[in-house]
Chain A
């Protein structure tokens, strides 16, 4: 009996050991899922509301993006975005809120280097590469589409 319980305790500890690094990732993923999902639900709410106001689906999508960008920039300004990103990881970074934060955060941080080469240049530290490779990929896709259509 005693042997048995020792054995199971041993086995249990081994299982905990084995699971720990993964459960850490699992917790991170769960937080990212819930926060990221909620930001998208908020976006869905906004887009339904904008669609009812404008009657234009593209316009509703654009206004939704702009709204989330504005809110994320404000949260960055009051210094709370880092807390959200620390908690939710990719859940805060992967939605368009992360793009807005990647512009606003260095803009504020490098204010001391001046508005031209501090704010103006450093705000593109991440947004720059995103635009360079996003645009390049979209142009390449466009070229393929154009010739496939001929």
Chain B
């Protein structure tokens, strides 16, 4: 059942992105930005946490989950460390993901060459 929920909710979030691509001509890059910011807003309103409780990876794997993770980290740090958490919480929570993306991006460039265009 958890897998079905992850499939349906994760799939629907991707469909929302697809409709934006097809109907508005927003480039995928802009959609990434919009979805992360939307995740922050919905997380702040307390909605995204509920979606994560319901759908698990169906909500955390799509990019709004990244925004939710940032906000969750900020709120946790404010509760534990006070107002400095506003500045420290986001990147603390996202540290592994950001560092992994940068490191694996660098290693990809080291070990692979661009595909020949032809």
Decide if A138 touches B90 in the complex (CB within 8 Å): yes
Q: How large is the interface on B (under 10, 10 to 19, 20 to 34, 35 or more residues)?
A: 35 or more
Decide if B66 touches A70 in the complex (CB within 8 Å): no
Give the number of chain A interface residues (Cβ < 8 Å): 77
Query: What residues of chain A lie closer than 8 Å to B39, measured between beta carbons?
Result: 134
Hey, what's the 0/1 contact readout for B74-100 against A, CB within 8 Å counting as 1?
Answer: 110010000101110111000011101
Among the listed B20, B37, B106, which residue makes an inter-chain contact with A134, where contact means beta carbons less than 8 Å apart? Answer: B37
Among the listed A32, A44, A48, A119, which residue makes an inter-chain contact with B11, where contact means beta carbons less than 8 Å apart? Answer: A32
Query: What residues of chain A lie closer than 8 Å to B63, measured between beta carbons?
Result: 94-96, 98-99, 130
Decide if A108 touches B10 in the complex (CB within 8 Å): no
Decide if A133 touches B102 in the complex (CB within 8 Å): no
**Secondary structure call for the B interface:** helix
Among the listed A69, A85, A108, which residue makes an inter-chain contact with B100, where contact means beta carbons less than 8 Å apart? Answer: A69
**Secondary structure call for the A interface:** helix
Shortest CB-to-CB span from A119 to chain B, Å, is 4
Decide if A73 touches B96 in the complex (CB within 8 Å): no
Q: Chain B: which residue is nearest A148 at the CB level?
A: B44
Q: Chain B: which residue is nearest A64 at the CB level?
A: B57
| Chain B, range 21-73, C-beta contacts under 8 Å to A | 21-23, 28-29, 31-33, 35-37, 39-41, 43-44, 55-58, 60-63, 65-67, 69-71, 73
Query: What residues of chain A lie closer than 8 Å to B69, measured between beta carbons?
Result: 61
Decide if B86 touches A73 in the complex (CB within 8 Å): no
Decide if A44 touches B6 in the complex (CB within 8 Å): yes
Decide if B15 touches A90 in the complex (CB within 8 Å): yes
A10 within 8 A of B: no
| Chain A, range 1-52, C-beta contacts under 8 Å to B | 24-25, 28-29, 32-41, 43-48
Q: Chain B: which residue is nearest A61 at the CB level?
A: B60
14 A-B interface contacts by CB (under 8 A): A25-B23, A32-B18, A36-B11, A40-B55, A41-B3, A69-B104, A70-B100, A79-B112, A89-B21, A96-B63, A99-B63, A99-B97, A111-B114, A142-B89
5 new A-B pairs (CB below 8 Å) besides A33-B12, A44-B58, A141-B74? A25-B19, A68-B61, A90-B20, A94-B35, A107-B105
Partner-B contacts on A (CB < 8 A): 24-25, 28-29, 32-41, 43-48, 61-62, 64-66, 68-70, 73-74, 76-79, 85, 89-91, 93-96, 98-100, 102-104, 107-109, 111-112, 115, 119-120, 123, 125-127, 129-131, 133-135, 137-146, 149
